[in-house]
Structures are given as C-alpha cells and as structure tokens.
Amino acid sequence: MQNRGYEILGTIKKLHEEMKQNFESKFKELNITGTQGMMVGILHHSKILKISELSEKMGLSNSTVSGIVDRLEKQNVVERIRSETDRRVVSVKLTEQFKNLAKDHFNNMDQFFNQLMSKATEEEMDQILTGFKLLENIIERASEENDD
C-alpha cells in the first residue's frame, strides 16, 4: 500500500513538472515564469479575481500570490484594483497592454490544451476527473483527521 502511495506522489510530481515546463516554454517570450503564466491564464479566463480567489484557484497562499502579483505588476502584466467600499479587498486583472501583447499566446495555449484533451475519450476524461476528485477527498479527510 505504501509503495502505491509513493507511486501516486511520483506521478503527480511528474505531471506537475511537465505542466510547469510547458507553461514556462509557452510564456518564455513574454518574460514570465510558468507559475506567473498559470496566474495569467487564470486571469485571462476569469477577467478579474480577488487575491483570495486567485490563491484558491492556484492552490497557493495569499502571501505567495500577492508576491507573484507584485512582480507581474512591476512588469505591467497585471493591475490591482482596490474595492471602493472596503479598501482591504484587492482584486487583480490583466492590463490591456499585456492582453494585446499576449493574445496569440492565449490562443496557442487554448489550442494546446484542447489538442491534448482531444487525445482522451470521454470515458478516459471521466476516469481522470473521478480519480483526481477521489484523491482530493482522501487528502481532505486526512487533513481533517490531523486537525482533530
């Protein structure tokens, strides 16, 4: 059983590394890292998100996401928007300048993922999603047990 756990962790690590490398190669021309590219991709599809929402989608802490936003803001890739009703609430969106610059990259990424996913049958996609959701539930259960 324990070896299977390491096998699962190894597979997740390998997938993570392959996705990170792919993101990095796709966004190298734009001078952003793979993690920054992931954030940019999320913002491209979501338009505007609070820091906490970005953190949740990326699976990173608010402070880590805030640091990434700092660096992207310096590069004029994203801009922060403070809520007029509560100045503590900060949202992030892509700058118009960056959206225009990166339009072709976004289309290429969408095509890449669509092409990648087209290799799987509907049944395989269902199995992948079921497996990931099952793993997520197991991790949440273990986390809840550790909290008790």
- For 62-85, how does the pLDDT look when each residue is reduced to its tens digit (9 = 90+)? 999 999 999 999 999 999 999 889
pLDDT at 92: 96
pLDDT at 109 over 80: no
Model confidence at 148: pLDDT above 70:
no
Tens-digit pLDDT profile for residues 3-53: 888 888 899 899 888 877 777 777 777 888 878 888 988 998 888 999 999
Write out the residue range of the structural domain in which residue 95 sits: 2-147
Give the angle subtended at the CA of 31 by the CAs of 26 and 34, to the nearest 5°. Answer: 50
In the predicted model, is pLDDT for residue 143 greater than 70? yes
Phi-psi region of 95 (alpha: psi -120 to 50; beta: other; left: phi over 0): beta
Write down the pLDDT at residue 96: 92
pLDDT at 123: 95
User: How many domains would you assign to the chain?
Assistant: 1
> Could you tell me the two tokens for 119?
């290799």
d(CA 55, CA 50): 9
DSSP-H helix ranges across the chain: 2-27, 34-46, 51-58, 62-74, 96-118, 122-147
Q: Count the Cβ atoms, other than its own, within 10 Å of residue 69.
A: 21
pTM beyond 0.85? no
Instruction: Note the pLDDT of residue 2.
Output: 63
Judged by phi (left if over 0) then psi (alpha if -120 to 50, else beta), residue 59 lies in left
Read off the CATH number of the domain in which 32 is found. 1.10.10.10
